[in-house]
């Protein structure tokens, strides 16, 4: 009974390349959240997705960032044309539903380094 699985755990990209981060939620969970943790800063909400729907993307930068959670397969956070400021830990979390009180489970994070 695996928890939230994120890969890769560590990713190094040169400026201008693309980064793709994958998140497989807990089996049976239909809600996925992405958070970003910048060095020396806290966790910032990025996007909330359900299967095939973006529910809330208020924390996503307007450009270069996109996220999806297809009917089949993991959720993907995609960063195009990465810059040094994108270097951060990206955490995915999942929950079984939107009812307040459901516990949210976190993955171990993907550490992106842009060189």
Q: Could you give the string, one character per residue 49-88, with x where binding to another protein holds by CB under 8 A and - elsewhere?
A: ------xx--------------------------------
Non-local (6+) Cβ contacts of 72 within 8 A are: none
Q: Which two tokens stand for residue 59?
A: 């924390």
CA dist., res. 91 & res. 108, Å (int) = 7
How many Cβ atoms sit within 10 Å of the Cβ of residue 47? 23
Task: Candidates 15-23, 63-71, 77-85, 91-99: pick the segment binding another protein (CB under 8 A).
Answer: 91-99
In the complex with another protein, the residue whose CB is nearer, 50 or 80, is: 50
Nearest Cα neighbor of 59 from 74, 50, 70, 47 is: 47
Task: Candidates 22-30, 44-52, 63-71, 72-80: pick the segment binding another protein (CB under 8 A).
Answer: 44-52
Chain residues binding another protein by CB under 8 A are 4, 31, 33, 35, 41-45, 48, 55-56, 89, 91, 93, 95, 97-104, 106-109, 111
């Amino acid at each position: 009974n695996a928890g939230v699985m994120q890969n890769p755990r560590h990713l190094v990209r040169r400026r201008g390349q693309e980064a793709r981060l994958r998140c497989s939620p807990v089996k049976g969970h239909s809600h996925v959240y992405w958070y970003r943790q910048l060095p020396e800063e806290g966790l910032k909400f990025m996007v909330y997705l359900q299967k095939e729907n973006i529910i809330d993307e208020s924390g996503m930068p307007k450009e270069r960032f996109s996220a999806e959670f297809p009917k089949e397969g993991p959720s993907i956070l995609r960063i195009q044309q990465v810059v040094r400021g994108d270097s951060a830990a990206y955490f995915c979390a999942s929950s079984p539903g939107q009812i307040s009180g459901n516990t949210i489970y976190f993955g171990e994070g993907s550490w992106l380094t842009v060189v």
